[in-house]
Amino acid sequence: MHLWSFLGGISAIGGVTLAHVSPSEMDNFNIASALEHLGVEVWKIPALQSFSGVQSRSTENACSAACASLNFVFGSKVSAQDTAGYSNFTGSFWSVQQEEVQPHCVFRPTVNTEVSIAVLLSRFTGCEFAARSGGHAAFTGASSSPGGISIWFKDMNEVTLNEDKSVASIGPGNSWVSVYSALEPYGLAAVGGRAASIGVGGFVLGGGISYHSNLYGWACDNVESFEVVTASGLIITASESSYPDLYWALRGGGNNFGLVTKYNLYTIPCPEMYGGARTFLQTEFKEVINAFINVINNASVDGHAQQYVAFLQVNGTNLASAELTYTLNVANPEIFKQYRSIPAVSDTSSSKTLVQYVEYLETDNPFGLREVYWPITVHMDEDFLNWVVKTFYSMIPQVAHVSGAMPVIIYQGITEPILKKMTNYGGNALGLKASTGPIILMHVSCWWTNESDDNTVYEFINSFWDKVIAQAKSLGVDNDYIYMNYASMFQDPVAGYGDANKALLKKIAKNYDPAAVYQTLQPGYFKLNGAPVTDSF
Ligand SMILES: Cc1cc2nc3c(=O)[nH]c(=O)nc-3n(C[C@H](O)[C@H](O)[C@H](O)COP(=O)(O)OP(=O)(O)OC[C@H]3O[C@@H](n4cnc5c(N)ncnc54)[C@H](O)[C@@H]3O)c2cc1C
Ligand SMILES: *[C@@H]1O[C@H](CO)[C@@H](O)[C@H](O)[C@H]1NC(C)=O
Ligand SMILES: *[C@@H]1O[C@H](CO)[C@@H](O)[C@H](O)[C@H]1NC(C)=O
Ligand SMILES: *[C@@H]1O[C@H](CO)[C@@H](O)[C@H](O)[C@H]1NC(C)=O
Ligand SMILES: *[C@@H]1O[C@H](CO)[C@@H](O)[C@H](O)[C@H]1NC(C)=O
């Protein structure tokens, strides 16, 4: 306890960290003392006066005690069910599955020590929690806790620059449009999301694919440091030189190590861009896939280009829509010439600032629907990529009767320059290597309207991927990596990082969080031991 107090005292004063002292908690770690150190006297909280520990408490009892305690300490920062603050929270997720979750209460911290207190009160009572940044994860419970505490970072939304403007310090309550809007007056941006309302919080911890990734890599490879609340409520800063193991783990390991209260991201220059969606009929698909592969292969020649291709069906017509983005205001760069020579049914390309770009893309992704994202990765093989598209169209009749269903398969490249940047600052946890050559990230996304159709949609995608993966294996182009930020609740991205990385992540979690608080009291997302949902459907 003395050691903990010492560290806690230091960190509470100014986020100062002592790299040579372990932040690991002692066997006799005392949650009440840790709370007291943060100014919260457990025995003065009415709801906790007769509370003797987690054992034999029901979830309901635990969470009513936890929420009453938060309310006692923080007042209006806590919203109970049937209040405006609560419905603002539940009503503003991207997917309906997340909106349907009813937490016991919603807590909106404004400073890092309040996050520490929430984590410690969860531990003290045994009430589960979840944390939300942008709320773009699609499935039930990913960033809102059923019956538990939902921590909403909304009000921790500062964006500040350091003196030489090389690093932006970004609160976890920011969406990418708020980050880009704050940095635009300086001619700067950060490597971040491609649609306006995506949150900084989840995006960076799972990887983070940006318009700028062929120049700088994924978002997680452009982090100077993270300010993190550990399971014992300590606030430490993890960087390449301070707690480097934690810094490595947070770059792909998701929410398993702590709650990040500040993302210190390297800034990049951000001139005006050019781009939009160029849409093709099925007669052109073969040529579109050829162009897609050529752009991937040219990524080291010209990193300004970024692309993804979505295959979908609109009113019975099969279409490929290629989002072609250039991070300079150049209308017809060499790298996109092949695409531009393919006859298109429409093309929305124009000059756009980054802020305009993410606002334009936002309109492709409406709120208020049931949603799933479900990815795999494969090695690059042109015939196989054509086969997958044909197979997709042959199987979508399975969801033809699903009300409002819009199944789409999207192809992206994890290119050689992106893979090379994954060794930045000591590397990340994703387990990807440039030596394998570029890989293809493919994901199926679907929205629909009726809960009674959930299993039909999940079964369709699952059977489609079963077929695709079997074919990939027979051709030797299968790959284990699963992108966490797109993963469905039935997938286990950490297993796909490889046995060695998974073992190392577990060791690091054990060091910083020996009681496995972030694994057990925060169960709703991808854990080190597996998928959030293991039932078959
Ligand atoms: C319309 C749309 C567009 C997208 N575009 C892109 C894109 O261009 N590139 C890309 O790579 N991905 C993209 N994604 C996927 C996106 O990266 C993920 O959905 C990501 O999880 C979103 O982060 P969030 O903060 O909004 O999500 P949230 O649902 O708030 O969080 C996701 C998970 O991260 C955890 N988390 C959030 N904040 C913190 C924190 N501060 N500390 C610890 N854990 C935290 C949450 O607890 C939750 O488990 C897109 C998704 C959608 C729906
Ligand atoms: C709910 O959201 C609205 C619109 O953003 C805002 O004006 C209002 O103050 C919010 N209410 C609470 C209680 O947070
Ligand atoms: C599809 O058909 C509907 C109904 O006929 C029509 O309202 C809609 O505009 C069509 N969409 C497109 C993209 O053509
Ligand atoms: C890209 O790839 C194609 C096909 O291999 C090639 O013809 C083209 O010149 C390449 N270069 C650039 C800069 O795009
Ligand atoms: C949802 O599904 C149920 C059961 O199949 C059906 O009765 C209902 O009409 C559907 N609702 C909508 C809006 O499609």
**Confidence at residue 22, expressed as pLDDT on a 0 to 100 scale:** 65
The CATH number of the domain holding residue 19 is: 3.30.43.10
Host domain of residue 204: 159-270
Structure tokens belonging to residue 245? 């193991």
Which one of the ligands is nearest to 229 CA? Answer: 1
Calculate how far, in angstroms, residue 471's C-alpha sits from the geometric centre of ligand 4: 29
Which one of the ligands is nearest to 90 CA? Answer: 2
Q: Could you count the other beta carbons within 10 Å of the beta carbon of residue 147?
A: 15
Q: Check pocket membership of 209 for ligand 1, CB cut-off 6 A.
A: yes
Residues 277, 265: one domain? no
Structure tokens belonging to residue 16? 């100062």
Indicate the top mutation candidate among 297, 301, 302, 341 to test ligand 4's pocket, ranked by most ligand atoms within 8 A of CB.
Answer: 301
Separation between Cα atoms, residue 119 and residue 521, nearest integer Å: 9
Calculate how far, in angstroms, residue 419's C-alpha sits from the geometric centre of ligand 4: 20
Q: Check pocket membership of 142 for ligand 4, CB cut-off 6 A.
A: no
Nearest ligand 5 atom, CA 452: 2
Residues 120, 200: one domain? no
Nearest to 413 by CA among 361, 374, 377, 465: 377
Separation between Cα atoms, residue 101 and residue 317, nearest integer Å: 36
Calculate how far, in angstroms, residue 291's C-alpha sits from the geometric centre of ligand 2: 47
Domain annotation covers residue 507: no
Nearest to 284 by CA among 361, 379, 389: 389
Nearest to 250 by CA among 289, 219, 214: 219
Separation between Cα atoms, residue 325 and residue 353, nearest integer Å: 11
Nearest ligand 3 atom, CA 314: 13
For residues 456 and 464, the answer to whether their CB atoms sit within 8 Å is no
Which one of the ligands is nearest to 483 CA? Answer: 1
Residue 342, CA distances (Å) to 101, 279, 283, 306 in order: 46, 10, 10, 18
If you take atom 3 of ligand 4, which residue's CA is the nearest one?
A: 294
The CATH number of the domain holding residue 191 is: 3.30.465.10
Residue 81, CA distances (Å) to 87, 150, 233 in order: 8, 12, 27
Q: In which element (H, E) is residue 372 found?
A: strand 370-379
Among 479, 496, 513, which residue terminates a domain?
A: 496
Domain annotation covers residue 460: yes
Q: Check pocket membership of 455 for ligand 5, CB cut-off 6 A.
A: no
Nearest to 115 by CA among 196, 11, 193, 204: 11
Residues 145, 232: one domain? no
Calculate how far, in angstroms, residue 384's C-alpha sits from the geometric centre of ligand 4: 22
Per the DSSP assignment, residues forming a β-bridge with 239 are 225
Residues 242, 103: one domain? no
Q: Check pocket membership of 334 for ligand 4, CB cut-off 6 A.
A: yes
Kindly report each contact of residues 493-498 with a partner whose C-beta sits within 8 Å and lies 24 or more positions away, as own/partner: 493/206, 493/254, 493/526, 494/253, 494/254, 494/526, 494/527, 494/528, 494/530, 495/530, 496/431, 497/252, 497/429, 497/430, 497/431, 498/431
Q: Check pocket membership of 255 for ligand 1, CB cut-off 6 A.
A: yes
Domain annotation covers residue 49: yes
**Confidence at residue 26, expressed as pLDDT on a 0 to 100 scale:** 83
Residues 97, 45: one domain? yes
pLDDT in tens, the chain (537 residues): 333 333 333 333 333 344 444 677 888 899 999 999 999 999 999 999 877 655 556 888 999 999 999 999 999 999 999 999 999 999 999 999 999 999 999 999 999 999 999 999 999 999 999 999 999 999 999 999 999 999 999 999 999 999 999 999 999 999 999 999 999 999 999 999 999 999 999 999 999 999 999 999 999 999 999 999 999 999 999 999 999 999 999 999 999 999 999 999 999 999 999 999 999 999 999 999 999 999 999 999 999 999 999 999 999 999 999 999 999 999 999 999 999 999 999 999 999 999 999 999 999 889 999 999 999 999 999 999 999 999 999 999 999 999 999 999 999 999 999 999 999 999 999 999 999 999 999 999 999 999 999 999 999 999 999 999 999 999 999 999 999 999 999 999 999 999 999 999 999 999 999 999 999 999 999 999 999 998 766
Residues 234, 100: one domain? no
Q: Check pocket membership of 435 for ligand 3, CB cut-off 6 A.
A: no
Calculate how far, in angstroms, residue 289's C-alpha sits from the geometric centre of ligand 1: 28
Residues 122, 200: one domain? no
Identity (one letter) of the amino acid at 443?
Answer: H
Whole-structure pTM value: 0.95
Residues 326, 363: one domain? yes
The dihedral formed by the CA atoms of 82, 84, 89 and 94, expressed in degrees to the nearest 10: 100
Calculate how far, in angstroms, residue 352's C-alpha sits from the geometric centre of ligand 3: 27
Which one of the ligands is nearest to 299 CA? Answer: 4
Separation between Cα atoms, residue 309 and residue 364, nearest integer Å: 14
Domain annotation covers residue 506: no
Which one of the ligands is nearest to 314 CA? Answer: 3
If you take atom 10 of ligand 5, which residue's CA is the nearest one?
A: 450
Q: Starting from the edge strand earliest in sequence, which strands make up the sheet with 105-107, in order?
A: 78-80, 105-107, 149-152, 129-132
Among 100, 122, 155, which residue terminates a domain?
A: 155
Residues 66, 213: one domain? no
Separation between Cα atoms, residue 46 and residue 227, nearest integer Å: 32
Residues 148, 78: one domain? yes
Separation between Cα atoms, residue 515 and residue 521, nearest integer Å: 10
**Confidence at residue 52, expressed as pLDDT on a 0 to 100 scale:** 64
Q: In which element (H, E) is residue 239 found?
A: strand 235-239
Calculate how far, in angstroms, residue 444's C-alpha sits from the geometric centre of ligand 5: 24
Q: Scan for tokens 């100062």, then name that residue.
A: 16
If you take atom 4 of ligand 3, which residue's CA is the nearest one?
A: 315
Q: Check pocket membership of 403 for ligand 5, CB cut-off 6 A.
A: yes
The count of C-alpha atoms lying within 13 angstroms of the C-alpha of 144, restricted to the half-sphere facing its C-beta, is 29
Nearest ligand 2 atom, CA 83: 13
Nearest ligand 1 atom, CA 261: 41
Structure tokens belonging to residue 85? 């603050």
Nearest ligand 5 atom, CA 404: 14
Domain annotation covers residue 221: yes
DSSP strand E in 53-185: where?
A: 78-80, 105-107, 129-132, 149-152, 159-161, 167-170
Residues 222, 363: one domain? no
If you take atom 1 of ligand 5, which residue's CA is the nearest one?
A: 450
Domain annotation covers residue 362: yes
Among 235, 270, 305, which residue terminates a domain?
A: 270
For residues 113 and 121, the answer to whether their CB atoms sit within 8 Å is no
Q: Check pocket membership of 94 for ligand 1, CB cut-off 6 A.
A: yes
Crossing angle, helix 354-362 and helix 176-183, to 10 degrees? 160
The CATH number of the domain holding residue 421 is: 3.40.462.20
Q: Check pocket membership of 290 for ligand 4, CB cut-off 6 A.
A: no
Q: Check pocket membership of 452 for ligand 5, CB cut-off 6 A.
A: yes
Domain annotation covers residue 258: yes
Calculate how far, in angstroms, residue 99's C-alpha sits from the geometric centre of ligand 5: 19
Calculate how far, in angstroms, residue 88's C-alpha sits from the geometric centre of ligand 2: 6
Residues 328, 446: one domain? yes
Domain annotation covers residue 248: yes
Angle at 37 between CA 34 and CA 39, to 5 degrees: 120
* Number of domains into which the chain is organized: 3
